[in-house]
Structure 1
Amino acid sequence: MNLPIKFEEKMKALLQEEYEEYIKRYDEPRLYGLRVNTRKISVEEFLKISPFELKPIPWIENGFYYDGDHVQPSKHPYYFAGLYYLQEPSAMTPANRLPINPGDKVFDVCAAPGGKATELGAKLDGTGVLVANDISNSRAKGLLKNIELFGIGNVLVLSEEPGKIEEYFEEYFDKILIDAPCSGEGMFRKDKKMVKAWEEHGPEFFAKIQRSIVTQAARMLKPGGMMLYSTCTFDSEENEGTIEYLLEQYPEFQICEIAPYEGFCPGLPEVSRSKREDLSRTVRMFPHKLHGEGHYVALLQKGEQPKEENEEQTRQRRIKADRIAKTGVRKIPEELEAFFENVSWDLEKSRLEIHGECVYYMPEDLPDVRGIRFLRTGLLLGELKKNRFEPSQAFAMNLKKEEYRYCLCLSAEDERVVKYLKGETLDVEDLVSPKEKGWYLICVDEYPLGWGKLSAGTVKNKYLPGWRWQS
């Protein structure tokens, strides 16, 4: 592989006697990773049904290597059931090492395509709220699909400048993850196109963007909250330099220790201007030290105590709290109530919002987000039609089999599973009585895939067209 001479010289200076061992890794094949969605299935249960040969990623408890040259997990029904996400092993580290507690308000600043956001949402397990943002609208659409596929409904999916988001979420979040846009040096081995991008936009270009993002995020984090910053580059200005800049601007932040792994290398204080020793608490990941690509991870905590409120701030806070309390519907529509007679959820009226025909189930305690560009607010339950309710694909993915009364379960080997995923009508006379009809949750081995409308032993396919299996 032809690497830029400037990059090679920089890595020789950084790694010194380890450089030759590092450069040899470019002759080795790339690694493939699979991360189990613990919101839908435990690691132990997944390993019992996994059709692939898997080897544990030692520093990721729900992560595994697979042989990407001989199997295609993205072409298996379990992928369409949202049981796992395909992700480069080192890239699993940031979301894994950010501590998430039930009820946390979590922000993934640069979230597309969703590798980190889906893990953060799985760790929240339906509590709190996940705000996932990507400035690119097209990338944010892919992000939304992955979040919905994973069964994450307590979410806001935004496509907005972080500076605009700051206006709505000042000191709102308990946890923030910034997987920052970077020069991508750590991914040269995985993706040769990254080399060309590096030559067009080097580290200096990205360092400016990163410093803007981290300072904006700092103002959105609550006192006592935690922020995890990561890149997939080796450059010191983008890594230790950006953390050093954040600490200079906001000295109330402190660098925290990251749960160790023997392949992790400490950050390098000597490459920073200040040479501050606590930068050694950050983590560098090199492909010659572990079975993964290059990454950098820093975990920080905001230590400043909350400021005393003045009278105007108290008044505004009470107005906001009163507005939140008065949102939601006064009465659940009859069509929705009738459908939910077959669902074991207890709907809270205060969390239901209806816009036109669409019904959303909102996370709790949200600020007013009018004026911000978003793709989704909350879980889209479905649409109210004349005298009926039509449930959404996202709702199906949020359900567990035991939470809906009428289910059709097919084994992964049943050819009707692929037919369903392709949008075809199914003959299920062998599974149901000819008299049965109505909305059914279609499952593969107990895990929901989507909806079907049953009548006379035939399922009319309601699988979302944009998600369908492409041959």
Structure 2
Amino acid sequence: MELPIQYTEKMKKLLGDEYSKYLESFEESRYFGLRVNSLKLTPKMFRDKNVFSLTSVPWCREGFYYAGEQRPSKHPYYHAGLYYLQEPSAMSPGAILPIQPGERVLDVCAAPGGKSTQLGARLQGEGLLVANDISAGRAKALLKNIELFGIRNSVVMSEPPERLKERLPNFFDKILIDAPCSGEGMFRKEPDMVKSWNEEMLVYCQKEQGGILEACAGMLRPGGMMLYSTCTFAVEENEKSISDFLERHQEFSLVPIEKENGFSAGMGALAQCARLYPHKIKGEGHFLALMQKTEEGSQDLTLEETGEKEKDILPYLEFEKEVLKIKLSGTFKIFGDSLYLLPEGMPAMKGLRVLRTGWQLGTMKKGRFEPSQAFAMGLSQGEVTNVEDFSLADDRVIRYLKGETVEADGKEGWTLVCVDGLPLGWAKRQGGRLKNKYAVGWKWE
């Protein structure tokens, strides 16, 4: 690979004697990774299924390497939301930020959803995940991945961070900033990124990073923690961005990141940060800085959304009584013709660009309720009365995922279609056939 001269000179200065080893890493194949969805099963349970050849990613307990010739995206388990395909180093930010169930968590640059699905799984259905991306187009991919993972307690948004700061001051317990950057750490994985690299890009990215950090500082509650990450080696975008931020914000301090599993210390006075180099780990380049806000000050109270009256959601309640073994509780809200179950502590979102407000249960039209794909993915087999559970070897699994009607005797009406006990979507059984209700945009191709 031919690297820009300006870039190689910077890397020689940065790495010193290690520069030759860094260059040698370009001769090695990139690493492929997947991260298990702990909302659905444990890493051990997934490994015991023995569907892929796996080895553990040391810095992420749910992460695994798989062989590049394998195709986990072309497997029914992918469509069941059992895992997310993710470059191994990219698993580190979501693994290091200490998330506890019940917390309010923001992923501010979230698309396409790798880190958001990781954070959402770690919340274990408790608390609130706000997944935001300024690009409405990219946020659509984010939304699909959130729904595929079966995350019930999330809000998917597309707003500038500065706008969120105005509405949600001192609101979040934890914030993850996977900042836009020049992408130097991805050169081996994505060689085309080399062509677009230049010094002007570094200046632009550093300015963007500073703005995002400023906005997030105002959204973090006292005592909260914020993790900043990039996939670049540039000091200007890493240590410089963080040191400039800390100079402006004396209420923030760095939290040391353990230097294990091949992680290296940050440069200069920012040794508490971590750098990931492809010649030292099985993964691409990354930078991590974990910061905490001092306890002084108070967390602002934010007005919560009010719910619908029971009489307004009767079609859903009839569906619940007939189809589910559980009774959902919480705040129900209708937006347009869609019914949502809001996460606990959900703030009022009027006036903001929101793609999803909580768990989309389905649509209500003309006195009828029709369940959504997101509803199916957030349920478990044991929560539904009428289930059709196919084995992995059954050819009806692929046929269902392609949108076909399949034969299956059983109780008529709404049916949750599963593979090995794991939900794929809905169907409506009639006359020994399952009329397919799998989401059109999700179909197997």
TM over 0.5: yes
1:297 maps to which residue?
Answer: 288
Distance 1:402 1:330 in 2: 25
2:279 maps to which residue?
Answer: 288
* Percent of matched pairs sharing the same residue: 51
Distance 2:306 2:24 in 1: 62
2:341 maps to which residue?
Answer: 361
Is 1:105 matched with 2:104?
yes
Q: 1:329 deviation in Å? A: 2.8
1:273 maps to which residue?
Answer: none
Change (3 A) 1:378 1:326: closer
SS in 1 for 2:35: strand
Distance 1:33 1:344 in 2: 36
- Alignment: residue pair count: 444
Distance 1:264 1:385 in 2: 54
What RMSD in Å do the two structures reach over aligned CA positions?
A: 1.5
Is 1:468 matched with 2:443?
yes
**Paired residues for 1:7-26 under 5 Å:** 7-26=7-26
Residue identity opposite 1:347 in structure 2: L
Change (3 A) 1:247 1:344: farther
1:117 maps to which residue?
Answer: 116
Q: Which aligned runs of 4 or more in structure 1 are off by greater than 4 angstroms? A: none
2:419 maps to which residue?
Answer: 444
Contact kept? 2:101, 2:123, Cα under 8 Å:
yes
Is 1:457 matched with 2:432?
yes
Deviates more, 1:363-372 or 1:1-10: 363-372
Q: Equivalent of 1:416, from 396, 400, 403?
A: 396
Residue identity opposite 1:380 in structure 2: Q
Distance 2:192 2:12 in 1: 22
Contact kept? 2:400, 2:436, Cα under 8 Å:
yes
SS in 1 for 2:271: helix
Q: 1:191 deviation in Å? A: 0.2
Structure 1: segments with no counterpart, 5+ residues: 270-276
Residue identity opposite 1:285 in structure 2: L
Distance 2:219 2:14 in 1: 34
Distance 2:248 2:193 in 1: 31
Distance 1:33 1:258 in 2: 22
Contact kept? 1:396, 1:449, Cα under 8 Å:
yes
Q: 1:257 deviation in Å? A: 1.8
Residue identity opposite 1:337 in structure 2: L
Distance 2:47 2:423 in 1: 18
**Paired residues for 1:22-421 under 5 Å:** 22-68=22-68, 70-199=69-198, 201-269=200-268, 277=269, 279-307=270-298, 317=301, 321=303, 324=304, 326-331=306-311, 333-341=313-321, 342-348=323-329, 351-421=331-401
Distance 1:73 1:201 in 2: 38
Distance 2:38 2:356 in 1: 23
Residue identity opposite 1:182 in structure 2: C
Residue identity opposite 1:215 in structure 2: E
Contact kept? 1:97, 1:259, Cα under 8 Å:
no
Distance 2:276 2:50 in 1: 29
Residue identity opposite 1:169 in structure 2: L
Residue identity opposite 1:282 in structure 2: C
Contact kept? 2:59, 2:95, Cα under 8 Å:
no
Distance 1:59 1:364 in 2: 31
Distance 2:195 2:340 in 1: 43
Distance 2:306 2:262 in 1: 52
SS in 2 for 1:167: helix
Residue identity opposite 1:227 in structure 2: M
Distance 1:29 1:454 in 2: 48
Which string of whole-angstrom CA distances, capped at 9 and with x for unpartnered residues, describes residues 84-112 of structure 1?
Answer: 00000000000010111111100001000
